[in-house]
Chains A and B, each alone.
Chain A
């Protein structure tokens, strides 16, 4: 082989390898390598958010069952409102911190946190305490305030929502962990795992204008589904949701629900909130569309009281 040819081929190979490397992240997107966990759902009660998560994730075989070494993880809390953690309109920051720590312990290469907030995002990130907590655990806290971060995706089979612009991190990361907080909601009656997805899309107003319940269920058709839904039910806003007015809106339930199936997680959350599941229309729509199982009696639920 001539030297020139050698250089040419090696350069070519290098390019190809580099390309394959950079595309690798996307390739992993659709393949789920999770081993089957023993339980469909872990429900915990009576502990602090971090302790409940520690125990819950252990029952599911540890975070290693969901996050492989070198993977990129996206954690999506609810950071919608410019209020302090005591008012429980946003996910508990300490819970977020603990989940991030578990991800890194399982060998995650990078953990990202973001939300498309309702109030001014800088203030929400700050006041909620989530930015500080996530950064202290080593996660990257990413803005979701500009349309330039969002990319159009198709939702095949969507009845009302046939496409949406989703945050690029949802497309670029390998593992997606949904960490909603359970709250009353003034039109859908409850916001939890499925409705938390209104914070990964750009144009929420479209959902509101085009049959909100159907759009929420339609979104669940999108291929990138959460590996885990961790529902924060520690302080639960039982009225005036999703924003709340004052502490009088809260009931301390000291609970947590962990499940991969978000329809099941929402059905269990509805019971916690004390709202008949059939009144929360998107749960039954999603169930009928085969996006999850709302029949809790058919599930293998591990209930833990601490």
Chain B
């Protein structure tokens, strides 16, 4: 086929996928039901593969579909389904607009050593030690982090701007949303990758996909034997080289003429560009040709300088939005003794969770209460950027199972609401010496008020005062008490994580024996 519709179809399809993913991650109003999100996530290669190896069931065979698709049609996944790849195409297009006169891709030799070393390293590290490298390099997770750390806050800023205008006209259909931001260091990795991938795609097209991305390299191997591919009609080709200059993957050697299928992402731009209609997409018999080496590319320094600059600047801007902590009357004195971080519901245990999460951050962005925050070293190096419960930022809503419903890798397993309400993520600890009731001799009860199971309740104290008391058996570790406690810098009540989640007892409640008044008592 050499129809120009091929390219148009690719652009249309990719736009739909990209917009879909964009909305999924930027959906700050939680408009989209979870079941629709799962359709998009189903075909994401790494999450689907992880889920498959975890579940060992045919429920999650999205990645096998992708491999079959690659064997049939080449690396169409990279152009049609990968949100990071489509995002790079968008950047390349912008780059082309900026440097219209100067940018020429041209044929480049492959970075064979780097590609395969990274792929092998990722596979080996993942199989032997854990997800470290996969977390860093999985394109879907990288995209997820971009959206969570930068994309969604930007969308919320726009929302707030429009809400501000509407608000002046007494319209409250959009509400102002406070951007809380994450821990400063949590921005470092996504920011570095954003600069790396952003600048590579602006200037060099799909270089990231063909040099670093392990999924790209792996699919490249499969596409070497793919059935459908770009082919030359040598009788028509005039060796003008336009296809090569316009190739984002720098994989067309027009002198041979030959297309390096392991790098070709089937964007179909060359078919459109070729004035002689010598290029087409169709069935091809595999033939071997030697590759002509060409001079390697240069120029990467600017990016590094920019990376460092942005690393320092951007998080500062985001941090500035952080809500002010309430002013304490007296600083509390007793330090909280947290022996373990709290991992999200559905995780089962910290060790299981760390082995299965690629830090795509979808749960972080989808959490309505902002309690899921990217970890820095709470879980150790293995768990960097994975979600951790932060009860100073929020609390886990009693009636919510969003993160467990959405997790594409199955690191958070689906929990029925009733099961979630009895899953103990951690246990409550009360520090009487920090408590307002003891230190100030005034009423407070913010923790008990917040507790959904009454694992925190009030007992008589001096005079008319009541003071908190805890019952760890029915505590589910939701952290609402810790969030509500007004004492700073150390809270008077906190949740210490269970490294392995436990089952909480169901709260027992007996009917009140107070009689309903039959006459007015006044």
Contact = CB atoms under 8 A, between A and B. Distances in A.
Given A118-B449, A187-B466, A272-B521, A209 B328 contact: yes
Interface of B: 29-30, 160, 164, 170, 172, 175-178, 323, 326-329, 368-369, 397-400, 436-437, 440, 442-446, 448-454, 457-458, 464, 466, 484, 486-487, 507, 509-512, 514-517, 520-522
B464 A268 contact: no
A239 B437 CA distance: 20
Contact of B522 (A119, A208, A271): A271
A149 B522 contact: no
Give the interface SS of chain A, mostly helix, strand, loop or mixed.
Answer: mixed
A294 to B, nearest CB: 11
Contacts of A180: none
Nearest to A274: B514
Contacts of A238: 512, 514
A120 interface: yes
A179 interface: no
Given A120-B369, A187-B466, A248-B511, 16 more contacts: A118-B450, A122-B30, A145-B177, A148-B164, A186-B457, A187-B437, A205-B326, A209-B487, A213-B442, A213-B443, A238-B512, A242-B449, A245-B454, A249-B509, A254-B516, A271-B522
A25 B301 CA distance: 60
A209 B436 contact: yes
Nearest to B368: A120
Contacts of A206: 326-327, 486
Contacts of A249: 509, 512
B486 A123 contact: no
Nearest to A148: B176
21 contacts: A43-B520, A43-B522, A45-B520, A120-B368, A122-B29, A145-B178, A147-B323, A149-B176, A187-B448, A206-B326, A206-B327, A209-B326, A209-B328, A213-B442, A239-B512, A243-B452, A245-B452, A248-B512, A267-B522, A274-B514, A274-B521
B444 A209 contact: yes
Interface of A: 43, 45, 82, 110, 118-120, 122-123, 127, 140-143, 145-149, 185-188, 203-206, 208-214, 238-240, 242-243, 245-246, 248-255, 267-268, 271-272, 274, 279, 281, 296, 301, 303
A122 B486 CA distance: 24
A211 B436 CA distance: 9
B446 A208 contact: yes
Contacts of B328: 209
Contact of B398 (A82, A250, A271, A296): A82
A287 to B, nearest CB: 15
Contacts of B327: 206
B509 A205 contact: no
Closest 5 CB pairs of A and B: A187-B445, A143-B175, A209-B486, A205-B486, A146-B176
Most buried by B among A208, A212, A246, A254: A208
Contacts of B175: 143, 145-146
A210 B160 CA distance: 32
Nearest to A41: B522
Given A143-B175, A249-B512, A303 B521 contact: no
A218 to B, nearest CB: 13
A2 B412 CA distance: 79
Given A123-B399, A188-B445, A212-B443, A251 B522 contact: no
A239 B509 CA distance: 10
Contacts of B464: 279, 281
Contact of A146 (B178, B368, B445, B484): B178
B176 A120 contact: no
A213 B399 CA distance: 30
Contacts of A213: 442-443
B69 to A, nearest CB: 39
A271 to B, nearest CB: 4
Contacts of A123: 368, 397, 399-400
Contacts of A245: 452-454, 507, 509
A303 B400 CA distance: 43
A205 B487 CA distance: 9
A251 B178 contact: no
A296 B465 CA distance: 25
B34 to A, nearest CB: 15
A186 B448 contact: yes
A272 B518 CA distance: 10
Contacts of A205: 326, 446, 484, 486
B511 A187 contact: no
A186 B397 contact: no
Contacts of B457: 186, 240
B450 A243 contact: yes
A188 B466 CA distance: 9
Contacts of A212: 442-445
B178 A208 contact: no
Contacts of B449: 118, 185-187, 242-243
A84 B365 CA distance: 26
Contacts of B326: 203, 205-206, 209
A224 B388 CA distance: 43
A253 B400 CA distance: 32
A187 B458 contact: yes
Given A147-B178, A148-B176, A211 B509 contact: no
A251 B512 contact: yes
Contacts of B516: 251-254
A140 B172 contact: yes
Nearest to A301: B522
Contacts of A120: 368-369, 397, 400
Given A120-B369, A186-B448, A253-B516, A281 B178 contact: no
Contacts of B397: 82, 119-120, 123
Contacts of A253: 516-517
A118 B397 CA distance: 11
A267 B507 CA distance: 32
Nearest to A240: B454
Given A208-B436, A209-B436, A127 B451 contact: no
A296 B442 contact: no
Most buried by A among B326, B398, B443, B507: B443
Given A248-B512, A271-B522, A211 B442 contact: yes
A15 B440 CA distance: 54
A143 B172 contact: yes
A152 B448 CA distance: 28
Contacts of A186: 445, 448-449, 457-458, 466
A213 B464 CA distance: 12
